[in-house]
Structure 1
């Protein structure tokens, strides 16, 4: 997305009428190739030109060589593959095909619609303690800076909007101007302008957002409308929002409590046995130490990640040490060979 992924063939901006005509021509061909649903991302209606074309494609039944078929059928002269997005050139326009499963298709389509609207709403979600992205509205349980588990609250984008304080019906109506998009971002009773300021983003987002005209335009909009003075402080705590999520989403509290129990188990097991002890017992360092820990966790007979922690708590240190020494002996030949 953004129209700057291709380096080997020049592209140009398309006016909306020719842009829509091109998509109508492409849609049946893409549906035949991907063997699933294909949708053009919605945009605000007064948008005059487009630097690229963003299309969500259903990924459940993609053939192994689908990108080669795309290149062949559209006689493309350049392409770029970046994870879930395949970018190619067609008639001097950058085309971004964004993969999404059938389950997450609607959410991905809605999240990416209307010029970074989803990204701006995601900043508010993050401020409230959640994550809004391609895969839905999620809650990350952390142990310090480490994420222990990611719990999904919903894959229904309209439900996500409602939880974040937005009117789902207003979103369904679409937007005529970029200003209407900005007004929508600010319409939640939980909205806090500070969560969108560049200085409050992490390093990765600061670098990305500085290059996004929609984001820069939103900062100018907030300044012009006086939002920083009108709402200078957060209007809700993360604790309040977490309780609201527990009250709103069935099954979330149970998943949360299960994660807290696992976290307690993990902390107790780590206190009893950890990588420092493996180093003391075997002298193994660095990358090899990590390999020993990984081998011990994932190849110990009959245990999964949760059971491993319980095994540590139920087993005396001498037996754990013997198991570690056995893993080291199994791995050593591979280390010397490399």
Structure 2
């Protein structure tokens, strides 16, 4: 509901719900004003079947240079200029890539010509001395790409939440930053930031999206047209799933609708017209190939395996045992540093270990020990029954085939 951003100086009652006709007229009036300040200005598509509105959200980017009057790039137009342009009386300013809130007074009898005189009168009766206002939010983006993405994800009410739930069930993550491949405990792999490509992968028609949805059901059917939606295995609660909120009626409606779909409908969706296999397509595997990210995952897996091998086979305790150095840790460290130097870094040690095995690495360690002449303390006359210099050299020659 509009007005929540101004609780410190205006009562929520100062921001009445806006009938659709009033909302549309306000958008038509304010958008050209903002277009004089920003290169890109848009309003996300409204939720279908919505009878009234709490506020008006604009998504903008790239201030016009003639407005900022500087060669230094700015993310947002100064707030006082925006407020003056749209006639705002109050402002909650947020610099940079953020959303600022503006309160624009509703002129007396402004709604009369739109057929909502009674609603305006009622709203004024419940407000304070300052009168009633429109809340206009200006969401500033850093780039045109981000602007495109924000327009998309904020359109059609809860549709983005529904898409997020469908992609999560498919093992992927969708947000205003694009599509990602979760790879716990490692960072996710970014599959794509292009919504055109993402929609193409899932089979969601952008042409239908642009045409618009007049009902919640139209949104539901569009979202579930992907072959990666299977109601028979669809989770609506549990780890990582957002809980439904009372005010999210569109999202709640989808959860209930998805739960009532028959197995026949599920089968039709995930085969997508192809020969029935009885198996759900693997979106994670398909996405790696579609977006060309499989080599990245393969390399990551190789790196993880090498790190694990390195931790297990090239540790201080393992090198100590190989070299019979006991608790002479400074000597162990010098030998390990010598091995790293020989291979040109620890990463190459890991590659050698992965390709040649632990026994050959042990031979290299003993060769480096002999070259550095770092011996057990018994060779200096301390201790009994430990390995001699000659034994160390023999072990090195026997064990190493490098």
Instruction: Give the shorter-chain TM-score range.
Output: 0.5 to 0.7
Partner of 2:99: 86
Q: Does residue 123 of structure 1 match 2:123?
A: no
Partner of 2:29: 25
Partner of 1:258: 299
Q: Contact (CA 8 Å) 1:44, 1:174: kept in 2 or not? A: no
Q: Does residue 214 of structure 1 match 2:250?
A: yes
Which structure's CA Rg is the greater one?
Answer: 2
Q: Secondary structure at the match of 1:57?
A: strand
Q: Contact (CA 8 Å) 2:79, 2:93: kept in 1 or not? A: no
Say which of 222, 239, 246 aligns to 1:184. 222
CA distance in 1, matches of 2:97, 2:350: 40
Q: CA deviation at 1:141?
A: 2.6
CA distance in 2, matches of 1:195, 1:13: 40
Q: CA deviation at 1:166?
A: 2.4
Q: Does residue 42 of structure 1 match 2:45?
A: yes
Q: Contact (CA 8 Å) 1:116, 1:214: kept in 2 or not? A: yes
Q: CA deviation at 1:114?
A: 0.6
CA distance in 1, matches of 2:47, 2:140: 22
1:151-230 superposed matches below 5 A: 151-155=190-194, 157-193=195-231, 198-200=236-238, 202=240, 205-206=242-243, 209-222=245-258, 226-227=260-261
Q: Contact (CA 8 Å) 1:3, 1:51: kept in 2 or not? A: yes
Partner of 1:283: none
CA distance in 2, matches of 1:176, 1:119: 18
Q: Secondary structure at the match of 1:36?
A: strand
Partner of 1:109: 151
Q: Secondary structure at the match of 1:47?
A: coil
How many correspondences in the alignment? Answer: 272
Q: CA deviation at 1:174?
A: 0.8
CA distance in 2, matches of 1:308, 1:115: 53
CA distance in 1, matches of 2:253, 2:164: 17
Say which of 131, 135, 144 aligns to 2:177. 135
Q: Secondary structure at the match of 1:125?
A: helix
Runs of 4 or more above 6 Å deviation:
231-234, 236-239, 269-274, 311-314
CA distance in 1, matches of 2:238, 2:232: 7
Deviations along 1:23-49, whole A, 9 cap, x unmatched? Answer: 22222332344x331111112565331
Give structure 1 stretches of 5+ with no counterpart. Answer: 275-306, 317-338
Say which of 19, 22, 26 aligns to 1:15. 19
Partner of 2:67: none
Q: CA deviation at 1:88?
A: 0.9
Deviations along 1:284-315, whole A, 9 cap, x unmatched? Answer: xxxxxxxxxxxxxxxxxxxxxxx99749969x
CA distance in 2, matches of 1:237, 1:267: 35
When residues 103 and 268 of structure 1 are mapped into structure 2, their CA distance, relative to the original with a 3 A threshold, is: farther
When residues 31 and 169 of structure 1 are mapped into structure 2, their CA distance, relative to the original with a 3 A threshold, is: closer
When residues 22 and 104 of structure 1 are mapped into structure 2, their CA distance, relative to the original with a 3 A threshold, is: same
CA distance in 2, matches of 1:230, 1:58: 46
TM-score under structure 1 normalisation? Answer: 0.65
Q: Secondary structure at the match of 1:37?
A: strand
CA distance in 2, matches of 1:46, 1:4: 22
Q: Secondary structure at the match of 1:88?
A: strand
Q: Does residue 77 of structure 1 match 2:110?
A: no
Q: Contact (CA 8 Å) 2:60, 2:140: kept in 1 or not? A: yes
Partner of 1:66: 78
CA distance in 2, matches of 1:29, 1:239: 48
CA distance in 2, matches of 1:42, 1:48: 14
Give structure 2 stretches of 5+ with no counterpart. Answer: 64-72, 105-132, 271-277, 316-343, 352-364, 366-402
